[in-house]
Each structure stands twice: as C-alpha cells, then as structure tokens.
Amino acid sequence: MDPDLTGFSPAQQHALLELLILAMFADGQLTTAEDPQLLPLFAALGQTDATDRQNVFAAAVTRLRPYAQSLFKAKDQALLLMGNFTDRRQQKTVSEAVQKRMDVNHHVTSWENTLLMELRLKFHL
C-alpha cells in the first residue's frame, strides 16, 4: 500500500524521501529511484520521467551520504527532517513508510532500531 500523501507539501514530500533514503543507508540496502516505495513520492513530486527520478534520487543520496557516516549524524538529520511533520496523520504516514522501508529485508539493524525509536519519540507514537 502506497503512503497517502494527501496534504503533504512538496517540502514534506522531499523530507519523507530523504527519511526513506536515510533508512536505506541504515540497513545498508541503498536501492534505486525505481524502488516501488519511492515511486509514489516521485509521482507526487511530478517526477514521471525515469531520468528525472534518478537525478532527484542521486542528488538526495549525495546530500545524505555525509550523515550516513555515523549513527549520531544520521539521527540528528532524521530528527531535523521529522520536524517537517506536525500534523498527526502525516506523522503516522511517515512512521509507517519508514517502518515499511526498514522491514524490506526482514532484519532490523541497530541503526534502524535507533532511527525508529527516535521517530516514535519525536512523533509520540
């Protein structure tokens, strides 16, 4: 099931994309712009062309790579990104999307667990 992005601003959609990419870095399973979980986000952002999606994805990966060097940097960046979501429905949508991303390989690493706990604490879930 795709996340319901109704009411998400473009900035919030980008923040969700970056949270999902941080989750990919956390589990060591960096994928591509054609990942089925990312496609609804790209569609909401108006990125229907595969090349455009790849460019947006590559730019986000490049921007986030320095934060993936340590758990503390990743956690701080994730908390910053989570600050974009103040609506309860959006917080639940973001939490479910990140959880789904981390469950892809049926193994949650300590990094993933830390990021999930920070997300739950930030959103009071």
Nearest to 12 by CA among 88, 90, 71: 90
Cβ contacts of 42 within 8 Å, gap of 6 or more: 33, 48, 52, 53, 56
19 alpha-carbon distance from chain centroid: 2
Q: What H or E segment, with its residue span, contains residue 13?
A: helix 10-27
pLDDT values of the chain reduced to their tens digit, one per residue, 125 residues: 577 888 899 999 999 999 999 888 877 777 777 788 888 888 988 888 899 999 999 999 999 999 988 888 888 999 899 999 989 999 999 988 888 887 776 666 777 777 777 778 787 76
A 10 A CB-CB count for 46 gives 10
- pTM exceeds 0.75, yes or no: yes
| Separation between Cα atoms, residue 97 and residue 4, nearest integer Å | 10
Nearest to 99 by CA among 15, 37, 40, 6: 37
